[in-house]
Structures are given as C-alpha cells and as structure tokens.
Amino acid sequence: MRKRVLWTSAAGALLLWSGAAHAHLMTTGLGPVYDGISHLFLTFDDLLPAVAMALLAGLNGAATGRRALFILPAAWLAGGAAGYLSATAPVPAGVTALSLLVLGILTAADRRLAPAAVTALAVILGMVHGWLNGASIAAAGREASGLVGIAGANFLLVALVSARVVSLKRPWTRIAVRVAGSWIAAVGLLLLGWSLSGRA
C-alpha cells in the first residue's frame, strides 16, 4: 500500500511538473512518415542536438559512431512511442538548451569518452526528444507513424555526419568540428538564457 502511494505521488508530481509540448509539426502532404522526415531536418530544436550527437560520436571513433547510429534512432523511436501513448510532456521546455550545451561542450573539448558514456548520452537524447515529439504528435491528432520518419531521418543524419567526422584525418579538420561544437554550446547557453527569461 505504501509503495502504491509512493508511485501515485511520483506520477502526480510528474504530471504537475509537466510542461507544454511545443509541437513543430510539418505537413508535406505526402503522409506522416514524410512529415516526420521533414520535421527533423526543418526543426532546429531537434536537428541541432542530433547533429551535435553525431559529431560527438564521430569524434570518438568508428565503433562509437556505429553504436550511436543504431541507438539514437531506436531511443528516439522508443521515447516517441512512450510520449505518444502518454500525450503529456513531462520534461521542461528548456531541454533543447541543455542538450545543446552538454553535447556542444563535449564536442568542443574533444575528450575521448568511454563508449558506454556516448551510448548513455544517445539514449537520453533520443528518449527525451522522442518523448516530446510523440506527445506533440498525439496532441495534434496525427498518426504515430510520423515517429518512424523522424527516427529514420535520425539514422540517415548520424550515418552521414558521424562517418564524415570519423574519416577526417588532417588536424585542422578535427579543429573545425570542435569549433562547430563550441558554436552549438554557445547557442545552447543563449537558448537556456532565453528559456529562463521566458522569451524563447
């Protein structure tokens, strides 16, 4: 009984804390899968963190890049399904800012991370952003198959970006990736400010 009360309270707290899911849904006229594909490539809130994840995975080598290639889309899909079924968004709206900040700083620092750490980051990123996408799709009354398009676009993005970064051999090209990471972190920090000031 005590355990049930605890679970009920936790669920209640989660509901009370839930923020609004800001759906930036695309309508291509070609169906929900294509809507999902275009969503990722036209929505900076999701595109930029996914690019940052791909850059980070690529900097950490081919094996880590291959892991992220499968884990990020799978986590995005799983989080999306959970968000679609719950139709609430129990994560603060400033989550994009934190994703950009963390992944951007790690990319700019170019520190070798354990494969498990990169995997964990991919899982968290995919679950959180997927959840927001799924909740938005449910709230808009769209079909859940749009999530397949988003996850597929993620697979394509990570495959192209990570493979390109892994193939970089000249020192200055790796520095260019680090500069891109610092720009992403800077955008994340500014976005965090906008979120905290309520002007995002």
Q: How far is the CB of 90 from another protein (least distance, A)?
A: 9
**138 touching another protein, by CB under 8 A:** yes
**29 touching another protein, by CB under 8 A:** no
Whose Cβ is closer to another protein: residue 31's or residue 193's? 193
**193 touching another protein, by CB under 8 A:** yes
**Other CB atoms within 10 Å distance of the CB of residue 179:** 12
**91 touching another protein, by CB under 8 A:** no
**20 touching another protein, by CB under 8 A:** yes
**187 touching another protein, by CB under 8 A:** yes
Whose Cβ is closer to another protein: residue 166's or residue 191's? 191
Q: Is 25 exposed, middle or buried (0-12, 13-18, 19+ CB in 10 A)?
A: middle
| 3-class secondary structure, 102 | helix
Contact 178, 76 (CB under 8 A): no
**11 touching another protein, by CB under 8 A:** yes
Distance CA 11, CA 2 (A): 14
Distance CA 32, CA 129 (A): 18
Q: Which of residues 104-133 bind another protein (CB under 8 A)?
A: 104-105, 108
